[in-house]
Amino acid sequence: MYKSLLEKINSKKANIGVIGLGYVGLPLAVELAKKGFTVTGLEVDSKKVESIKNKKSYIGDIDTKDIKELVEAKRFSATTNFKTISKLDVVIICVPTPLRKSKDPDVSYIVAATKEIKDNLQKGQLIVLESTTYPGTTAELVLPMLESTGLKASKDFFLAFSPERIDPANKKFTIANTTKVVGGICKQSTELTAAVYGSFTKVHKVSSTQAAEMVKLLENTFRAVNIGLVNEVALMCDRLGLNVWEVINASATKPFGFMKFTPGPGIGGHCIPLDPHYLAWKLKTLNFYSRFIELSGEINAKMPEYVVTKLADALNKKSKSIKNSKILVLGVAYKKDVSDMRESPAIDVMYLLNKKEAKLFYYDPYVSTVKIGNKVMKSEKNIKNISKYDVVLILTDHTCIDYSDIVKKSKLVFDTRNATNLMKSSKIVRI
């Protein structure tokens, strides 16, 4: 059974299914199809399925041309019919893993996807979980559900975990050149999974699914803690009357022992704000208190309030208050050059400004509408008449915006991302 499946994978004759066609699943499905596999996307959102059927991409990193070519070549298709799982050789789960309001992991999407697989599980299949989750999920949650069918892992089917490493809008490191970490519940599961991902990138094998799950959490906890540190340094520099960007850039000239992180209005995206809490939650069940995670989370969560306070001070020097001031927010996506709004700190900043009765406007070429509380706002069509605003607040530093022109035409600019780097103007206030 193992040899037969391995041969299918190596010869590209294996039929592969990807559950969840979002920011992680769609790039993976496209890359596998490009390498010659026949790939089926399984998705509960009928709009995404229709988009694929119409040969159109709905994610910035994926070119519609690629979708069109793969669909027409019959190497990629999408469906809402999960019974299709029974005809697949490999099934990869790429569903969301949000947090509940209590900061506990919400694995309901993983459970729902696993149930669909369980209901259609066949002998000789390989199941791979990519969704970020706490160490133990694959072995303690997914495995028992699949074995409740009467089929046995490592004998009748294979199971592994491989953490997703997608960085939207990153042109340098894509799914095709970023090493994939794989860990199976047995050696055969690991080897089969390595063969799948090895078809398009380098693979690093670890000893277990738990180790692979921990890899992802370490990566993003490392980032969250270091962002928390540099955000606190920004607060320190503000008290000391220092330019934090000057200090960071000078520190970054050291070729060893320093890695550059930058402050901002908070942290966003699906990974960094959430993943450390998955680890913290798991450790609490083992009576271990993760102090670095808790502290960095606290610092990062307070950055939107700091931004609003500093903005109020900047307006005060112009004899204005936030109330009734015309404020244009530049960029609301969680990072530059993407449309992704997940956990964007811009939402928190705008919510606080709205509560203080600012006359709020925003411009983002990637995001047409945004909801602040119960209010739905539309992006300004252009930013030609920039002088009519009391302040321009840069929350996301999209590269398509001419910041020198913004500074030239604005009354006041509050730059939280150092988009105005090297510009010297009394109009500019930085975080």
3-state secondary structure labels for all residues of 239-279: HHCCCHHHHHHHHCCCCCCCCCCCCCCCCCCCCCCCHHHHH
Asked whether the predicted pLDDT for residue 277 surpasses 80, the reply is yes
Question: Helical H runs in 54-142?
Answer: 64-72, 108-120, 137
Residue-wise over 350-367: b if at least 16 C-beta within 10 A, else e? bbbbbebebebbbbbebb
Place of tokens 């469906």: 79
What's phi and psi for 94, nearest 5 deg?
Answer: -130, 60
The answer to whether 94 is a known catalytic residue is no
Model confidence at 273, in pLDDT bands (50, 70, 90)?
confident
Which of 16, 81, 85, 15 has the alpha carbon at shortest distance from 43?
81
The tokens of 293 are what?
A: 């995670």
Q: For 173-181, what is the mean pLDDT?
A: 96
Cα atoms in the 13 Å half-sphere on the side-chain side of 137: 30
Asked whether the predicted pLDDT for residue 373 surpasses 80, the reply is yes
Q: Are 166 and 128 in contact (CB under 8 A)?
A: no
Reported as a single tens digit per residue, the pLDDT across 89-148 is 999 999 999 887 777 889 999 999 999 999 999 999 999 999 999 999 999 999 999 999
C-alpha span between 360 and 150 (Å, rounded): 59
Question: Helical H runs in 164-208?
Answer: 187-197
In 269-400, the DSSP E strands lie at 326-330, 359-363, 369-372, 375-378, 391-394
Asked whether the predicted pLDDT for residue 368 surpasses 80, the reply is yes
Task: Tell me which of 235-249, 276-290, 313-327 is least confident.
Answer: 276-290
The pTM of this model reads: 0.92
Asked whether the predicted pLDDT for residue 278 surpasses 90, the reply is no
Which of 78, 88, 75 has the alpha carbon at shortest distance from 34?
75
Reported as a single tens digit per residue, the pLDDT across 402-431 is 999 999 999 999 999 999 987 999 999 998
Which pLDDT score is estimated for 143? Answer: 98
The tokens of 15 are what?
A: 């039929």
Domains of the chain plus CATH, in order, are 2-207 (3.40.50.720), 223-430 (3.40.50.720)
- From the number of C-beta atoms within 10 Å of its C-beta (0-12, 13-18, 19+), residue 251 rates as middle
- Which percentage of the chain shows pLDDT scores above 90? 88
The tokens of 323 are what?
A: 């109330």
CA dist list (Å): 264 to 117, 301, 344: 41, 11, 11
**What is the number of helices (H) and of strands (E) in the chain?**
14, 15
The tokens of 277 are what?
A: 């809490």
What does the mean pLDDT of the chain come to?
95
Alpha carbon 266 to chain centroid, angstroms: 14
The tokens of 119 are what?
A: 């209901």
Place of tokens 């947090």: 99
Alpha carbon 264 to chain centroid, angstroms: 17
Which pLDDT score is estimated for 269? Answer: 83
The tokens of 267 are what?
A: 């942290």
Reported as a single tens digit per residue, the pLDDT across 53-77 is 999 999 988 999 999 999 999 999 9
Asked whether the predicted pLDDT for residue 173 surpasses 90, the reply is yes
What's the full length of the chain, in residues?
431
User: Would the CA dihedral through 263, 269, 274, 279 be positive or negative?
Assistant: negative
What's phi and psi for 58, nearest 5 deg?
Answer: -120, 10
CB atoms within 10 A of CB 378: 11
The catalytically annotated residue of 186, 237, 271, 400 is 271
Reported as a single tens digit per residue, the pLDDT across 217-262 is 999 999 999 999 999 999 999 999 999 999 999 999 999 999 999 9
C-alpha span between 51 and 73 (Å, rounded): 16
Asked whether the predicted pLDDT for residue 374 surpasses 80, the reply is yes
